[in-house]
């Protein structure tokens, strides 16, 4: 049980490349923090600096208030699950899990080791595999062995480096819930690196979004989703991703492709008439106008557009509406797309409709959306002009309260940690 | 994992292997045959001996030549084993450092090591002979072990460096996070994983020293008395001092018998370590 504080952490490589720049994050005791970002964002480097496998160029790393910058990994008492598991191939599963207990200050007598490993093996359902070698295990089993090795020791914190990226989709889902349950039950501070926004949203108490080594936003998944600070965070969080539409500020209105919406107050203050902005609207904010109930309809805008392609997924239906890109904004959006590892596709609006919608491809459809859910971004800096700080704070407080409650409940239910 | 070879391809490979095996076994069989032909039948121009006899073996183990051969055999085994053990230990540390650490002059060390391996041994022998005489290392075990280390270290460092580089660094980092010191990580994780490499290196070193003639014949004069360690001549050098039963009969049979005896440890070593030499121990450590 520990807190981890990162103060102005910077990593500069020998060739002058800045992998991590001035990152400040406090991880609370028992908190599950996610470091997320596209490849090359410095998230793994940051994790390796916490555990001590990478030197810190400047800044302070504090674990439980103690500066650990100059401590070797073994003196930080953290445990880590590596992306490729890094199991010891010459040892059996039993010895792999017991490995930390066979060394130096963690050394325990054999009977105690056996008991601990057996307990862990029961939790992770590895009982019948204890005598096998890692080479003979499936991906999911190897993953569990790596986790067993991490949790057998009373470590101050768990660190995960993209632990699920080598598993197939189904197993990934299972292991995700497994990790979540384990973390709650043990109540151990956890830092988890992933490039997958779904993992970030589902696992994390808070999520830190990194871009090219610079921290963009640390917040609860809900806050990231509802009140992103900039274009990058907005584009990274959510699936399918947020639509970005070029818009021109008019007289109290914003001129978008397909429609015109009232200018939010914050935008009127920051921008002049004729300025170019980017409006971000989540696909979920749209609905088939025929399915919207009358009392709701007045709160939103209805517009007509031709649907290019639809995809029906049972519970929902995606519709794609191409539009003419705006040359000035398009460069910025393409750049963003590249950073988010997306393939530069045609400019189109993606809308998520109810599964019962009868809109078909080629139809001239009538769509409804609520402009309150839209965000307006500065076209150059990408800053969110419509972020509501009060609301964001409220979400943060609620999330923290939820976390505390969840943690207490999990601990009470499961009894003492393993 | 390599693809499975089909039974048909396997059969063809076996057929193709036969001429190669025959080609390599021919001279060995010839030596064996010579060692088993007694007396004058050596020159009878038959590949297979007509009369089997253990005379040559008796001659070198219990007969007149045993004072030469037995202590030489002891010297060979002792010197080569010690040189191998020291050589592997030293090269393991050196190779680990080269594979894992970044320091100025790393390439220089590797290239120099390779360069010394290319250096013709014969050019070292004369100066070494003079130095050894003045520092009283001539005809001593240490005096033999040192040149053998020089001979085997470069190649050992190179092979082990290659093996250490193959071991995923993450394995070691995992050990360090688990609480291991650098030494523990090396001993408990890296070394066992590099075992095939270590054994391969050990065997190469051992053979190099075992088969050496140039240093042995120049830096030692007598095999000494058995178990007295008062000489350092090894078998390859001692063979050249074999004499026939008279001045007019070449000691062909005795040399052949000694050669057979000297080959046996080599065969045993290879058979014994065959399994360990097979690489691929790291399969399954990481994904894939």
- Counting one residue from chain A and one from chain B, the pairs whose CB atoms sit within 8 A come to 93
A37 contacts A209 by C-beta, under 8 angstroms: yes
Same domain, B30 and B78: no
Shared domain for B15 and B83, answered yes or no, is: no
Helix and strand totals (H; E) in chain B: 13, 0
Average pLDDT, rounded, for chain B: 85
Distance CA B73, CA B209 (A): 13
> Do B70 and B45 share a domain, yes or no?
no
User: For the stretch A225-248, what's the b/e string if a residue is b when 16 or more beta carbons lie within 10 angstroms of its beta carbon?
Assistant: bbbbbbbbbbbbbbeebbbbbbbb
Closest by CA position to A145, among listed A110, A98, A108, A192: A98
Examine the domain organization and report whether B42 and B154 are in the same domain: no
What single-letter DSSP state applies at residue A360?
A: -
pLDDT in tens, B151-208: 899 989 988 888 888 888 888 899 999 988 888 899 899 888 888 888 888 888 998 8
Which residues of B fall within a CB distance of 8 Å from A53?
A: 173, 176-177
A79·B177 Cβ contact <8 A: yes
Q: Are residues B148 and B254 in the same domain?
A: yes
The whole domain housing B201 covers 66-277
Residue A194's H or E segment, with its range, is strand A189-194
Residue B72 phi, psi dihedral angles, 5° rounding: -65, -40
Dump pLDDT digits (tens) for B212-243: 999 999 999 888 888 888 888 999 999 888 87
Query: What is the pLDDT at residue A342?
Result: 67
> Is B60 within a domain?
no
Put simply, the answer to whether B180 touches A166 (Cβ < 8 Å) is no
The tally of CA atoms less than 13 A away on the side-chain side of residue A92 is: 11
Region B52-58 average pLDDT: 87
Token output for A50: 């916490």
Alpha carbon of B189: minimum distance to chain A alpha carbons (Å): 7
CB contact B170 to A (< 8 Å)? yes
Instruction: Determine contact, residues A220/A396, Cβ cutoff 8 Å.
Output: yes
Question: Does A72 reach chain B within 8 Å, measured CB to CB?
Answer: yes
pLDDT digits (tens, 9 = 90+) for A276-301: 899 999 999 998 988 888 888 888 88
Asked if A136's CB is within 8 angstroms of B286's CB, the reply is no
Residue B2 lies in a domain: no
Q: What is the token pair recorded at A14?
A: 């020998």
The length of chain B is 288
Q: Where in chain A is the domain with CATH 3.40.50.300?
A: 4-226
Q: Are residues B189 and B239 in the same domain?
A: yes
A51 contacts in chain B (CB < 8 Å): 177
Dihedral over alpha carbons B16, B17, B22, B25 (to 10 degrees): 160
Q: Output DSSP code: residue A89.
A: T
Give A182's pLDDT tier (boundaries 50, 70, 90). Answer: confident
Query: How many domains, chain B?
Result: 2
Residues of A in contact with B184 (CB under 8 A): 103-104
Beta-carbon count within 10 A of A273 CB: 12
A105 touching chain B per CB within 8 A: yes
Report the alpha-carbon distance of residue B216 to residue B214 in Å, rounded: 6
Q: Residue B50 has what DSSP assignment? A: S
* Same-domain check for residues B82 and B27: no
B144 and B23 in one domain? no
Find out whether A119 and A416 touch, Cβ atoms under 8 Å.
no
Specify if B49 maps to a domain. yes
Interface residue A142 vs chain B (CB under 8 A): yes
Q: What is the pLDDT averaged over residues A332-357? A: 80
**B73 and B34 belong to one structural domain:** no
Residues B96 and B209 in one domain: yes
A73/B173 CB distance under 8 A: yes
**Helix or strand run (H / E) with residue A186:** helix A169-186
Whether residue B143 sits in one domain with residue B26: no
Q: Which residues in chain A have Cβ-Cβ distances shorter than 8 Å to B195?
A: 90
Fold for the domain defined by A4-226: Rossmann fold (3.40.50)
How confident is residue B277, by pLDDT bands cut at 50, 70 and 90? low
User: Residue A82 and residue B179: Cβ atoms within 8 Å?
Assistant: no
Q: Is residue B218 part of a domain?
A: yes
Pick from B177, B184, B283: which is nearest to A80 by CB? Answer: B177
Residues of chain B contacting A103 with CB distance shorter than 8 Å: 178-181, 184, 188
Q: How many CA atoms lie within 13 A of B22 on its CB side?
A: 6
H helix intervals, A18-163: 43-51, 93-98, 110-123, 139-151
Residues B48, B182, single domain; the answer is no
The enclosing domain of B150 has a CATH number of: 1.10.3720.10
In a mutational test of the A interface, the residue from B179, B181, B284, B286 whose CB has the highest number of chain A CBs within 10 Å is B179
Q: Is A193 helix (H, G, I), strand (E, B) or coil?
A: strand
- Inter-residue contact B198 to B279 (CB < 8 Å): no
User: Which residue(s) pair with A249 in the sheet?
Assistant: A254
> Which residue bears the tokens 């054999």?
A110
B169, B177, B191, B283: which to substitute to probe chain A, counting the most A Cβ within 10 Å?
A: B177
ipTM value of the model?
A: 0.80
Q: What's the pLDDT tens digit per position in A167-177?
A: 888 888 888 98
Write the pLDDT tens digit of every residue in A204-227. 999 999 999 999 999 999 999 999
The reported pLDDT for the residue numbered B284 is: 40
Q: Residue B288: its pLDDT value, please?
A: 35
């Amino acid at each position: 049980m520990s807190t981890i504080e990162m103060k102005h952490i910077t990593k500069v490589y020998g060739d002058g490349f800045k992998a991590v720049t001035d990152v400040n994050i406090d991880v609370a005791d028992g908190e599950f923090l996610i470091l997320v970002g596209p490849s090359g964002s410095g998230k793994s480097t940051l994790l390796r600096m916490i555990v001590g496998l990478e030197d810190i160029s400047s800044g302070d790393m504090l674990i439980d208030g103690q500066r650990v910058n100059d401590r070797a990994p073994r003196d930080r008492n953290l445990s880590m699950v590596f992306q490729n598991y890094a199991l010891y191939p010459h040892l059996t599963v039993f010895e792999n899990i017991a490995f930390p207990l066979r060394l130096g200050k963690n050394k325990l007598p054999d009977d105690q080791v056996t008991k601990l490993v057996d307990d862990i093996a029961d939790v992770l359902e590895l009982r019948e595999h204890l005598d096998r070698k890692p080479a003979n295990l499936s991906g999911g089993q190897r993953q569990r062995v790596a986790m067993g090795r991490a949790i057998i020791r009373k470590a101050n914190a768990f660190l995960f480096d993209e632990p699920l990226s080598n598993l197939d989709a189904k197993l990934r889902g299972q292991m995700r819930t497994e990790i979540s349950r384990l973390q709650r039950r043990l109540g151990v501070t956890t830092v988890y690196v992933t490039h997958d926004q779904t993992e970030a949203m589902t696992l994390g108490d808070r999520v830190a979004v990194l871009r090219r080594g610079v921290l963009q936003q640390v917040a609860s998944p809900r806050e990231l989703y509802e009140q992103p600070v900039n274009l990058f965070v907005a584009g990274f969080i959510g699936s399918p991703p947020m639509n970005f539409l070029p818009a021109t500020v008019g007289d109290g209105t914003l001129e978008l492709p397909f429609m015109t919406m009232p200018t939010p107050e914050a935008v009127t203050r920051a921008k002049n008439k004729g300025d170019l902005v980017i409006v971000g609207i989540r696909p979920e904010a749209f609905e088939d106008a025929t399915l919207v109930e009358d009392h709701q309809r007045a709160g939103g805008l209805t517009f007509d557009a031709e649907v290019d392609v639809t995809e029906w997924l049972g519970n929902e239906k995606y519709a794609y509406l191409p539009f003419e890109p705006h040359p000035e904004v398009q460069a910025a959006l393409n750049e963003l797309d590249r950073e988010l590892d997306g393939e530069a596709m045609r400019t189109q609006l993606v809308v998520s409709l109810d599964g019962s919608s009868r809109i078909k491809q080629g139809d001239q459809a009538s769509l409804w959306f609520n402009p309150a859910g839209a965000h307006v971004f500065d076209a150059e800096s990408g800053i969110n002009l419509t972020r509501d700080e009060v609301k964001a704070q409220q979400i943060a407080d609620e999330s923290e309260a939820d976390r505390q409650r969840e943690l207490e409940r999990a601990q009470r239910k499961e009894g003492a940690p393993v | 994992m390599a693809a499975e070879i089909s039974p048909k391809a396997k059969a063809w490979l076996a057929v193709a292997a036969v001429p190669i095996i025959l080609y390599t076994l021919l001279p060995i069989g010839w030596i064996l045959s010579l060692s088993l032909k007694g007396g004058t039948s050596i020159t009878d121009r038959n590949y297979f001996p007509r009369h089997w006899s253990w005379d040559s073996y008796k001659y070198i183990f219990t007969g007149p030549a045993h004072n030469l051969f037995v202590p030489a055999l002891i010297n060979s085994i002792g010197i080569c084993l010690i040189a191998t053990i020291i050589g592997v230990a030293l090269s393991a540390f050196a190779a680990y450092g080269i594979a894992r650490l970044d320091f100025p002059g790393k390439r220089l060390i590797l290239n120099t090591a390779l360069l010394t391996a290319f250096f013709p041994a014969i050019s070292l022998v004369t100066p070494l002979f003079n130095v050894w005489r003045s520092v009283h290392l001539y005809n001593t075990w240490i005096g033999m072990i040192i040149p053998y280390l020089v001979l085997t270290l470069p190649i050992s460092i190179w092979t082990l460096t290659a093996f250490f580089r193959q071991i995923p660094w993450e394995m070691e980092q995992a050990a360090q996070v688990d609480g291991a010191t650098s030494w523990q990580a090396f001993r408990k994780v890296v070394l066992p994983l590099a075992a095939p490499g270590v054994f391969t290196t050990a065997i190469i070193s051992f053979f190099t020293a075992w088969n050496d003639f140039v240093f042995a014949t120049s830096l030692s004069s007598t095999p000494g008395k058995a178990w007295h360690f008062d000489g350092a001549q090894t078998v390859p050098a001692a063979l050249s001092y074999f004499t026939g039963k008279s001045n007019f009969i070449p000691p062909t049979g005795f040399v052949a018998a000694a050669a057979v005896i000297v080959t046996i440890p080599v065969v045993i070593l290879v058979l014994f370590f065959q399994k360990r030499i097979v690489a691929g121990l790291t399969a399954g450590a990481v994904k894939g």
